[in-house]
Structure 1
Amino acid sequence: MPNKQILLISRNMPPLIGGMERLMQNTANILDKHYSVTVIAPKGASAHLPDHIHVHELPTSPIFFILLSIPLALWLAGKTKYHLVIGGSGVMAPVIALVQKIFKCRGVVFVHGLDIIANNAVYQAIFVRALRHIDTLIANSNNTKALAVATGINESKIHIIHPGTNLPNIDKAKSREYLDQKYALQNKKILLSVGRITPRKGLKEFVQNAMPALCQHDNDIILLVAGDHPNQGLTKSAKLPTEIAAISFELGIQDSIIFLGSISDDELSHCYAGADCLIFPLINIPGDVEGFGMVAIEAAAHGTPTIAFDEGGVSDAVVSGQSGHLIPAGKYDGITDALSQLLIKKEKDWENACRSHAKSFSWANFGSALLHILDA
């Protein structure tokens, strides 16, 4: 059994669903191979982690999780001499800072972008202030690092590690056949949107400003929307899917958009592999940001390119000409042009280039970078 003891505290952990949750689950799995790991996580997390990790489960409610994690972390740290205490996001900064100070152990916090600039005075006064006292921060992109430095965090404390991805062995032709049969998409050109439907994702604006022209240019275009509104976390936008559907009816393009809602990982994998292109039309929202753009890496891992607006940290995730196209933010006519270029290039060329791009974001590479920082 490894000698070093680690306490990992994160509400972002399965059974909750999302990119941050996958990141923290894989982080726990990586740490488990090298350290003795204790985890404080939401109810149900133990079923998604190795059996011999010590898991303490708390309610999934953000407020209750944060409040209850403080006494639990202090109690655990009082019993065990931890080498490292790690927080899964900026919301864990106060408890990490407290344990770090009282028990003289090294504190580490992952930051993702929104957890730095969340537009809330109380959050900024307590959580971001606590981040300034953490020994080591791990940012998911260059943009997130810049946001952290702008808040007064010492740049020397911040390390960039891009989130990892799996590299699936999947047949794109079979996935396309699956989508064709399930949604009657034969001979259609499939655009895909993936992720929680929040304002910064820009899906509403994309449907308003780009879809009519795209459909006029090619009436065989279909947009699949995989994801629903977030019901927990720092942002909520329950009305957006309904608003987007209403706009599509007003514009007469409702038959060109299919809302899939929340789907299984297997279904999502088929969507990634079977689509012609992922669209990622981010917009600038004060107090909100796309920290990295994990869906673009996941699409690339399935051999599918991305067309994205160059907002937030997405420039770390998409390389124009290799894994898709980055378009200046707000240039909706640029999406039409980029899509035309993308469809002209041979499908196999995109598949090979995208998969090559995704290889540098493997979980093995993520783990090596993480261990190098933690063992420094």
Structure 2
Amino acid sequence: MQKRIRILIITRNLPPLLGGMERLNWHMAAELAKYADAHIVSPRGSAALKPEAVDVDEVPLAPLWRFIAVAAWRAIRVAREWRPDIILAGSGLTAPIAAVTAKASGARSVAYVHGLDVSIASLLYRLLWLPFLRRVDRIIANSHATADLTRDIGVAAERIAIVHPGVDLPAAAPHPSLVDAFRQRYGLGNRRFLLSVGRLTQRKGLREFVVEVLPRVVEQHPDVLLVIIGDVPVHALKAAAQSPADIQEAANRAGVGTNIRFLGPIIDRDLLASAYRAAAVHVFPVRHIAGDPEGFGMVAVEAAAYGLPTVAYATGGVIDAVADGYSGHLVPVGQPVVFAECIHRLLDEPLSEAGLYQHAKQFAWPAFGRALTQEIEGLCSASRR
């Protein structure tokens, strides 16, 4: 019987922290544990919500310097005792720890990168972190756009692979009674609404959307709402935020202040599923900002899994997440009129729910886990030769 690969994962992004990276790292550990023995070094509080088959060593989350120092010490200690085959950084932030731990224990190093962790403009980060990203044995990027960014910092193309993030596929659509209860809970009545889900950062572009696009939508559909699920980021690499107050003020000035509704963060999966099911269109007006890319766009795939199409600007990894004309529409950056026209089209002529589900199915977490495992097994096989 072949010995199972041992993988030590080091990450600062796990539940109970909220966000796409946190969900991805949780599923990364859960899926890898199907094929390998997995152990995580992660912040305090994560052990209570860890995947069942994974062991966790907790370290302080903040301040950042303390997390890095304690996580490195703990990772080296675990690696020397446990002897993993692979040290896997859950993002570029922990790549230095992975590289140092791998060298100290004779393992191979891998970093899964998301976009911002490669291109962030911080001089300190670029001086101290990027050399380690160039040094790890394998970079796995979440999209073609992130892979391009990784090549731009000097990583050879043959050391880069692409494994798209995954999505939870619903066993069934939320029962209509749950969708009705969601509408009642948040006072949405029977109004059709556009949905935005995610952290309220400058990159997500909601303030610009309510000024440039929403008035054009309201002009043709006066009763439509923009429902926003999410809040300002905490503990992020680059937490440039657009607060609810900023977005609301911009909407008021644009004359659509009564067409916007903030629900705050929603972590209950049934509630979020009901939100996707109740909405008419998912909007993803991501801005193209140098040094702050959208690495993929998991929320667009998640929306498709519930039969909800996306309209998004075609930038960064969003191009990998949205199949134009099939799971929604990709709009050239800087064309809000076209963005509004695509929303009108979907409000009047919805896309096939079967097609939307099929698009999401190719990104299911088991597919992510198999692809990630293949990359890691390939690295292990190469090191044995």
TM-score (norm 1): 0.95
- Partners of 2:179 and 2:325 lie apart in 1 by 23
- Partner SS for 1:375: helix
User: Retained in 1: the 8 A contact 2:174–2:273?
Assistant: no
Quote the residue 2:201 is aligned against.
198
CA-to-aligned-CA distance 1:211-233 (integer Å, 9 cap, x gap): 11211221111000000000211
| Alignment match of 1:341 (pick from 331, 340, 345) | 345
Shift of 1:239: 5.2
Does residue 184 of structure 2 align to residue 186 of structure 1? no
- Partner SS for 2:200: coil
| Alignment match of 2:220 (pick from 217, 221, 224) | 217
- Partner SS for 1:330: coil
- Partners of 2:199 and 2:3 lie apart in 1 by 38
Quote the residue 2:67 is aligned against.
65
Does residue 267 of structure 2 align to residue 261 of structure 1? no
Shift of 1:97: 1.1
- Partners of 1:256 and 1:357 lie apart in 2 by 30
User: Retained in 2: the 8 A contact 1:294–1:317?
Assistant: yes
- Partner SS for 2:295: coil
Quote the residue 1:277 is aligned against.
281
Quote the residue 1:332 is aligned against.
336
User: Retained in 1: the 8 A contact 2:202–2:242?
Assistant: no
| Alignment match of 1:241 (pick from 244, 249, 262) | 244
Shift of 1:109: 0.6
Ranges in structure 1 where 5+ consecutive residues have no aligned partner: none
Shift of 1:175: 5.0
- Partner SS for 2:371: helix
Indicate the RMSD between aligned Cα atoms, in angstroms.
1.7
| Alignment match of 1:93 (pick from 89, 95, 98) | 95
Quote the residue 1:351 is aligned against.
353
- Partners of 1:220 and 1:239 lie apart in 2 by 25
Change (3 A) 1:356 1:114: same
Alignment: residue pair count: 374
- Partners of 2:324 and 2:53 lie apart in 1 by 43
Quote the residue 1:9 is aligned against.
10
- Partners of 1:200 and 1:57 lie apart in 2 by 31
- Partners of 2:244 and 2:69 lie apart in 1 by 32
The sequence identity of aligned pairs, in percent, is 38
- Partners of 1:229 and 1:237 lie apart in 2 by 9
Shift of 1:371: 1.2
- Partners of 1:252 and 1:258 lie apart in 2 by 14
Quote the residue 2:174 is aligned against.
171
User: Retained in 2: the 8 A contact 1:278–1:299?
Assistant: yes
The letter of the residue matching 2:26 is Q
Shift of 1:120: 0.4
User: Retained in 2: the 8 A contact 1:175–1:271?
Assistant: no
- Partners of 1:250 and 1:104 lie apart in 2 by 60
- Partners of 1:288 and 1:239 lie apart in 2 by 14
The letter of the residue matching 2:302 is E
Shift of 1:250: 2.1
Moved more, 317-326 or 183-192: 183-192
User: Retained in 2: the 8 A contact 1:176–1:275?
Assistant: no
Shift of 1:253: 1.5
Quote the residue 1:302 is aligned against.
306
Does residue 292 of structure 2 align to residue 291 of structure 1? no
The letter of the residue matching 1:303 is G
- Partners of 2:56 and 2:324 lie apart in 1 by 42
Change (3 A) 1:284 1:153: same
- Partner SS for 1:109: strand
Change (3 A) 1:180 1:75: closer
Quote the residue 1:132 is aligned against.
134
Quote the residue 1:250 is aligned against.
253
User: Retained in 2: the 8 A contact 1:165–1:298?
Assistant: yes
- Partners of 1:106 and 1:322 lie apart in 2 by 40
Quote the residue 1:21 is aligned against.
22
- Partners of 1:165 and 1:185 lie apart in 2 by 27
User: Retained in 2: the 8 A contact 1:193–1:226?
Assistant: yes
- Partners of 2:322 and 2:33 lie apart in 1 by 31
Change (3 A) 1:172 1:119: farther
CA-to-aligned-CA distance 1:66-112 (integer Å, 9 cap, x gap): 12111111112222221111010001111111122232211011000
CA-to-aligned-CA distance 1:172-195 (integer Å, 9 cap, x gap): 744542343223333422100110
Quote the residue 1:82 is aligned against.
84
- Partners of 1:336 and 1:82 lie apart in 2 by 51
TM-score (norm 2): 0.93
The letter of the residue matching 1:119 is A
User: Retained in 1: the 8 A contact 2:30–2:53?
Assistant: no
Shift of 1:53: 2.5
- Partners of 1:17 and 1:320 lie apart in 2 by 28
- Partner SS for 2:135: coil
The letter of the residue matching 2:375 is I
The letter of the residue matching 1:59 is P
Does residue 23 of structure 2 align to residue 41 of structure 1? no
Shift of 1:238: 4.8
- Partners of 1:151 and 1:367 lie apart in 2 by 27
Change (3 A) 1:113 1:79: same
